[in-house]
Amino acid sequence: MATSISCTSSSFLIMRYFISLFVLLGLNLWSLDRGFALAEGTSKRHLLHPKNTHIVNLHSLLPANTCSPSTRGNKRKATLEVVHKHGPCSHLPQNKGTTMNHTQILEQDQARVNSINSRTSKKLNGVEDLSQSEATSLPAQLASSQGAGNYIVRVGLGTPTKQLSLEFDTGSYFTWTQCQPCAVSCYPQNDTIFDPASSTSYANVSCNNAKCVELGASTKYNSCLRGTCLYRMLYGDEYHNSYTIGLLAKDKLTLTSNDVFDGFLFGCGEENVRFIGPSAGLLGLSRNNFSIIEQTAQKYGRFFSYCLPPTASSTGYLSFGSPGRASSAAVRYTRLTTLSLSSSYYGLDVVGINVNGQKLSIPPSVFSSPGTIIDSGTVISRLGSTAYSALRDAFKAAMKSYPAAAPDELLDTCYDLSGYSTVTYPKIAFVFGGGVTLDLDETGIVYFLNGLKQVCLAFAGYDDDKHIAIFGNTQQKNMEVLYDVAGGRVGFAPGGC
Ligand SMILES: *[C@@H]1O[C@H](CO)[C@@H](O)[C@H](O)[C@H]1NC(C)=O
Ligand SMILES: *[C@@H]1O[C@H](CO)[C@@H](O)[C@H](O)[C@H]1NC(C)=O
Ligand SMILES: *[C@@H]1O[C@H](CO)[C@@H](O)[C@H](O)[C@H]1NC(C)=O
Ligand SMILES: *[C@@H]1O[C@H](CO)[C@@H](O)[C@H](O)[C@H]1NC(C)=O
């Protein structure tokens, strides 16, 4: 099969274009865990008005070796447990060569952000070379990198059902998993690689099927193998471009025993390049006909919600359908917007940011043009330079009693907190149109780059105001986030996991 694919599809030869950047082996998992472990504290020390600050016990940052699952999601139907890829709740064998240090995580995060922006800037040199496409034809629906900070859910595929861990992604729409016989290449994954030959419900999609034509139009890739439809998804940027190519396929998707979908369209990846694993692929939730949200719309009415765990040693959930009364009473809704140049993203109507209870002076147009999206796969939120400078200056002013630490390329506002047992930092809130104010969880404000020695403001700024602002997954931690896609609104509630 390997040979026949290579002969039939020239794109299967693109492996020659390797940019060898990601060889990620034997890295320390537990220093990483601290970056995700900021728990509640009780100290009395405060700098500013206590109502506007978080007072956090730094001792609670010591890495947890065991998983403390949340039970909050259990009340809902159609719910999957969400775990952080690098933490005890993922039940991954340690030292499997798939963990990353912070430098690598933030590099990959930047690649994803570059990829998101390339859709609007129309520049993506590396991937253009890679795809050997005509100079101007960018994949219109270029998905984003399977990022380092992603969260994992387990779903069942095929008959009999095979359990697969997939990274769930609100920033891309296409679900895929690595498939046997891995005709060109597979990366190491934790689960056994899905074998279509051992699923009685598996079917290929033919090239003249309307879905093949639709996907081809959306990805600017039309390729066939003996009448069977091939797909190609490109991720990342010119430095970290990963991609998957394989068969467009249909099989039974099992979320829970009561939530089973026949004929779910997904990618059976035979050439999966420059992914790190250990997940088996990706679950796409953004707005497109191929998204799981659209494919399950009859049952769930295009409604889903999730909570990203506050630490890597706790769990969250991903839930399909309206949670009804299981939802928090405190949920506030704001409108979902659509970015004109990339309509599959979930856009947010951000109008301002508060620090320490005070609204920063930022013109709302900084957020609305080219727009702000919410993305589960970007780790660090990105802001235009005007908004970021205002946020950073206000944060710095509130933190002036703490010793500064060296900045990182991406995170430029860092403190050395190794001499402290508690830290007090200002609350940060996002303000949305319609008067909705969302206080970030205390775990969503700082990033532990190097234990307590380098604790940084978990936001980054662009060089200008022309890029897409991104509400990333650090800022979403421990919040219930509800997507009422049909109703055109997104809701938030605190303390969701
Ligand atoms: C890894 O595989 C084990 C055994 O199948 C499973 O229990 C665990 O949930 C998997 N973890 C991930 C993150 O895939
Ligand atoms: C992270 O890993 C890369 C690649 O192995 C290495 O070059 C770099 O020095 C590491 N960074 C830190 C801070 O450990
Ligand atoms: C799907 O297509 C591939 C490539 O042509 C082929 O090898 C495989 O046998 C097909 N599977 C089924 C179930 O038709
Ligand atoms: C999405 O699916 C609907 C219903 O099958 C179809 O009418 C529509 O054209 C599809 N969208 C695209 C972009 O092909």
Whether 89 lines ligand 1, by a CB cut-off of 6 Å, is: no
> Are residue 311 and residue 360 in the same domain, yes or no?
no
Could you tell me if residue 484 is inside a domain? yes
C-beta separation of 296 from 258 below 8 A: no
> Are residue 165 and residue 207 in the same domain, yes or no?
yes
> Are residue 336 and residue 311 in the same domain, yes or no?
no
> Are residue 276 and residue 404 in the same domain, yes or no?
no
Name the residue with the closest Cα to ligand 2, atom 1.
101
> Are residue 82 and residue 222 in the same domain, yes or no?
yes
Nearest ligand (C-alpha, residue 103): 2
Could you tell me if residue 26 is inside a domain? no
Could you tell me if residue 290 is inside a domain? yes
Atom of ligand 3 nearest to the CA of 204: 1
How does pLDDT run across 218-227, given as a tens digit for each residue? 999 989 999 9
Nearest in space to 274 (alpha carbons), one of 83, 111, 33: 111
Give the pLDDT confidence score for residue 299 in this predicted structure. 97
Mutation probe of ligand 4 site: the residue of 174, 209, 289, 293 with most atoms within 8 A of C-beta? 289
> Are residue 303 and residue 434 in the same domain, yes or no?
no
Name the residue with the closest Cα to ligand 3, atom 1.
204
Nearest ligand (C-alpha, residue 204): 3
CATH at 143: 2.40.70.10
Q: Which residues contact 397 (CB under 8 A, 6 or more apart)?
A: none
C-beta separation of 295 from 155 below 8 A: no
Q: How many domains does the chain have?
A: 2
**393 among known catalytic residues:** no
Query: Who lines ligand 4 at CB under 6 A?
Result: 214, 289
> Are residue 113 and residue 206 in the same domain, yes or no?
yes
* Parallel/antiparallel/unpaired status of strands 176-178 and 259-273: parallel
> Are residue 415 and residue 299 in the same domain, yes or no?
no
Give the pLDDT confidence score for residue 418 in this predicted structure. 93
Name the residue with the closest Cα to ligand 4, atom 7.
289
Could you tell me if residue 439 is inside a domain? yes
Give the pLDDT confidence score for residue 346 in this predicted structure. 98
Last residue of a domain, one of 320, 344, 361: 320
Cα–Cα distance between 224 and 226 in angstroms, integer?
6
The helix, strand and coil proportions of the chain, stated in percent and rounded to the nearest 5, come to 20, 35, 45
> Are residue 206 and residue 314 in the same domain, yes or no?
yes
Cα–Cα distance between 476 and 445 in angstroms, integer?
10
> What is the domain range of residue 387?
330-494
Could you tell me if residue 247 is inside a domain? yes
Name the residue with the closest Cα to ligand 1, atom 6.
91
- Active-site option among 349, 375, 408, 441: 375
Last residue of a domain, one of 320, 351, 377: 320
Could you tell me if residue 416 is inside a domain? yes
> Are residue 337 and residue 302 in the same domain, yes or no?
no
> Are residue 232 and residue 379 in the same domain, yes or no?
no
> Are residue 379 and residue 456 in the same domain, yes or no?
yes
Could you tell me if residue 382 is inside a domain? yes
Q: Mean pLDDT per 10-residue run, the chain (497 residues)?
A: 34 30 27 30 46 82 73 76 85 62 85 81 36 29 48 96 95 96 94 98 97 94 93 81 94 97 98 87 96 98 94 90 79 94 92 95 92 95 97 97 96 96 94 94 91 94 95 95 97 90
Last residue of a domain, one of 262, 285, 320: 320
Give the pLDDT confidence score for residue 122 in this predicted structure. 43
* Parallel/antiparallel/unpaired status of strands 342-348 and 332-339: antiparallel
**465 among known catalytic residues:** no
Could you tell me if residue 30 is inside a domain? no
